[in-house]
Structure 1
Amino acid sequence: MPDIPWSTPTPAAPGAEVYVMASRFETATLTGAVRFFLKAPGIIRQMRRAPGAHGVALRARVLHRTFLTLSAWEDRDALYRFARSEPHRSSSRAASAYMRESVFTYWTVPATELPLGWAEAERRLAEQEAGR
């Protein structure tokens, strides 16, 4: 399944620090993975329009029931405003019924490091999971 590559909705100001979130979701069933996958394009579109969004990418492994997200934000508040807005809010609640596991990690980087790559996100997610 192809990735949705990094896109930059709003470039960060030169010299800014951006707030980064990486997540890994694993569904309990293949049906759940298909549901998650079908909702993903709408959520990505929402992220691309969200105030304060500086970047977003998705890595979908439907047959492995695993999805990774990577996003960069103006600050933590911009991320939280997005997370509480529709359709993300309702989709997240619905997904909890078929989710097996979710891992989140957060950090900041200089805007000059955008776009972000998957290697750092996967390393940080693995550390987060190991620390549970």
Structure 2
Amino acid sequence: MPDMPWTTPTPPASPDTEVYVMASRFETRTLLGALRFALRAPGIIGQIRKATGAHGAALRARIPRRTFLTLSAWQDRDALHRFAAGEPHRSSSRAAAAFMKESAFTFWTAKASDLPITWEEAERRLAAQEQARP
């Protein structure tokens, strides 16, 4: 599965607009779990492209390492929550729990002019979040 480069479903109103950003890292227990995760990704990508308030999203798939990174920017926290509660994300997330080894999430706000967020920034923030865990 190739990476999905940053895509912008709905551009923010202006460069000064504040957006809500989420980065996540998922690691599956097995290679089969990684393949299952990858098979669900196209449906979720399609959902993002239609989601109200989605200002950008990207996916980095490392199937041999059983690791996936996601990065997205939203109009606000509620837009992200509406997306997460919608289908196919909701049912895919529940099904993925059976083959997940671990996951990490981090959230922050940024100016629309900062989009697209770089993978380096996302990984830095995920690492800081994981170090802060007890």
Structure 1 residue 124 displacement after superposition: 0.3
Q: Distance in 2 between matches of 1:93 and 1:3?
A: 23
Q: Distance in 2 between matches of 1:26 and 1:52?
A: 27
- Report SS of the residue matched to 1:100: strand
Match in the other structure for 1:29: 30
Task: Calculate percent identity across the aligned residue pairs.
Answer: 71
Match in the other structure for 1:6: 6
Match in the other structure for 1:92: 93
One-letter amino acid matched to 2:7: S
Q: Distance in 1 between matches of 2:2 and 2:85?
A: 28
Q: Distance in 2 between matches of 1:118 and 1:45?
A: 21
- Report SS of the residue matched to 2:27: strand
- Report SS of the residue matched to 2:98: coil
Structure 1 residue 130 displacement after superposition: 1.1
One-letter amino acid matched to 1:3: D
Q: Distance in 2 between matches of 1:127 and 1:2?
A: 27
- Report SS of the residue matched to 1:68: strand
- Report SS of the residue matched to 1:18: strand
Match in the other structure for 2:47: 46
Structure 1 residue 2 displacement after superposition: 2.8
Match in the other structure for 1:19: 20
- Report SS of the residue matched to 1:5: strand
RMSD: 0.7
1:66-77 → structure 2 map (5 Å cutoff): 66-77=67-78
Match in the other structure for 1:83: 84
- Report SS of the residue matched to 1:130: helix
One-letter amino acid matched to 2:43: G
Q: Distance in 2 between matches of 1:24 and 1:41?
A: 17
Q: Segments of 4+ in structure 1 off by > 4 A?
A: none
- Which ranges of structure 1 fall in alignment gaps of 5 or more residues? none
Structure 1 residue 37 displacement after superposition: 0.5
